[in-house]
Amino acid sequence: MSLMTEYINKRLGAKELEEELMSLISKYNKKRNSFLLVFASAIGKPIPDIALSQEDYYIITDILRNTESLSQIDIYLETPGGSGEAAEEIVNYLRSHFDDVSFVVSGEAKSAGTIMVLSGDEIFMTKTGSLGPIDAQMRIGRSTVSAFDYMEWIDDKRKEAEDKGKLNPLDAIMVAQISPGELKGVYYSLKFAEDLVVEWLKKYKFKNWNETETRKIPVTEEMKEQRAKEIVDELINHGKWRSHGRSIKIDDLESIKLRITRIDDDADLKDIVYRIQTVCRLLFTTSSTYKIFATQDEKLLKQAVSMSSPVKIPKTSKLPDVVEINIKCPNCGKVYKIYAKFTPNPKIDEDYKKKGCIPFPKDNKVKCDCGYEIDLGGIRNDLEVKTRRKMLV
């Protein structure tokens, strides 16, 4: 039986899944004699805040505030990438507080996530884990784009203009809107990412590399820097990897002489890490959670506010004592009729239950029959603002 099927059959709610995650983290810590932080994003959910950001840095520093006595930390990382500057701040914080920092990758750690992983003393990966080409993501107008892809497009248009003496009207309009300052910013973002990785590989990943494996020659700082530059040259080679989102697996990384610790070779560790990945996926798919920060003792889950059904308050001179709303499950489409009351009148409960309505849940969450957990926190806030009254639950 697959792990996903096992957990689905248990029909665990969000709270039980969160407890299972923290239990798995505790098992991991005992197995590795380490301290694990799970930092995972719901890759694929259409939420801007999924990307790595400065806010993540503040949350991580807060959740690790009482770990001064620890010398070792492992980071389970899943992210589509994001801010290179935020990645730098997170790594600098980890390095200033821990002597040994390792990364665990069982899903995707792309772009700025790859930059973070390459700062690790050790990189643990499962067969399903993947990094991506080294890159920076830039905010251009209303879109976030790959800095490499953006510069490549500019270079292609420059070459096209030189060869043909002109650009097609659409490309000409787009190029005309690009400022020299913007181009310089994109270029520096790419160089910033490359320089960071060279520095971190040399300083951390290669810190215990003292002699070569075959010839047993003493390793110098110049040799470490040369090897780091060779690895970075491979990882910025988008022509080799074909796309910004390409998945670079263990074999690919080992082929460019980057040492990876294979989790699948340890049966117990393998089971724990795959379970952590599965529980995170279930939290993302069955609830409004889109980002997880968790240790064995503490957790913070960021959730998207569900406002798919805007609340309409009847326009009357008197504020209503009760409001009825229809909530549609985004997973299966089932509609739930819910009433929210603002006065302690038992008749309201009696009348609305006869209509097939259910009272607004105390924890702001409705567990659908399909297993999806619908977060009503945003709707509750909206109701209380519009009615200027406290909801009674």
Both 260 and 344 in a single domain?
A: no
Verify that 100 and 9 share a domain, yes or no.
yes
Contacts of 368 by beta carbon, 8 Å cutoff, 6+ apart: 329, 331, 332, 334, 336, 374
In a domain, 181, yes or no: no
Please report whether residue 67 resides in a domain: yes
Is residue 42 a contact partner of residue 50, using CB atoms and an 8 Å limit? yes
Residues 297 and 327 in one domain: no
21 and 113 together in one domain: yes
Same domain, 7 and 126: yes
Domain contains 139: no
329 shares a domain with 296: no
Residue 294's SS3 state is strand
Residues 253 and 381 in one domain: no
pLDDT of residue 8: 86
Provide the domain count of the chain: 2
| C-beta separation of 370 from 334 below 8 A | yes
Phi and psi of 333, rounded to 5°?
A: 90, -5
In angstroms, what CA-CA distances link 286 with 3, 77, 373? 16, 20, 6
Same domain, 262 and 378: no
128 and 21 belong to one structural domain: yes
| Gyration radius of the chain over CA positions | 25
SS3 call for 32: helix
Asked if residue 125 is part of any domain, the answer here is yes
What CATH number is given to the structural domain containing 7?
3.90.226
Residue 122 lies in a domain: yes
Residue 354 resides in a domain = yes
Give the length of the chain.
393
Q: Which domain holds residue 363?
A: 322-387
What is the share, in percent, of the chain residues with pLDDT greater than 70?
A: 85
Do residue 258 and residue 332 come from a single domain?
A: no
Residues 278 and 342 both lie in one domain: no
Is 241 part of any domain?
no
The pTM assigned to this predicted structure is 0.74
Q: Low-confidence residues of the chain, pLDDT below 70?
A: 135-148, 151, 171-189, 238-245, 305-317
Query: Tokens for 159?
Result: 């070459």
pLDDT in tens, 171-206: 666 666 666 666 666 655 677 788 889 999 999 999
Q: Is 105 among the domain residues? A: yes
Of the residues 274, 303, 332, the one at which a domain ends: 303
Same structural domain for residues 285 and 339? no
